[in-house]
Amino acid sequence: MNQDTISGNWKQFKGKVKEAWGKLTEDDLDVINGRREQMVGKMQERYGVAKDEAEKQVKDWEARNNYRW
């Protein structure tokens, strides 16, 4: 999947991400822009969780929402 496709999908899923992780700001979501590693990093920063916990949460969210980074 190319970056344009990911970015297009990201626009559709931003609201769902915001529902799941309300501490993420609009600026955070703009920085993440559909990039998984950015998502994990921002979750660590905002929620104070370890990388493995952030990875687990993202993986679970992906499965529930049929989202592929």
User: How do residues 28-43 score in pLDDT, each as one tens digit?
Assistant: 999 999 899 999 999 9
- pLDDT the model gives residue 10: 85
Question: Does pTM top 0.95 for this prediction?
Answer: no
Q: How far, in Å, CA of 65 to CA of 32, rounded?
A: 17
**In the chain, where the domains are located:** 3-65
Which CATH number describes the domain made up of 3-65? 1.10.1470.10
Cα dihedral 29/22/66/43 (nearest 10): 60
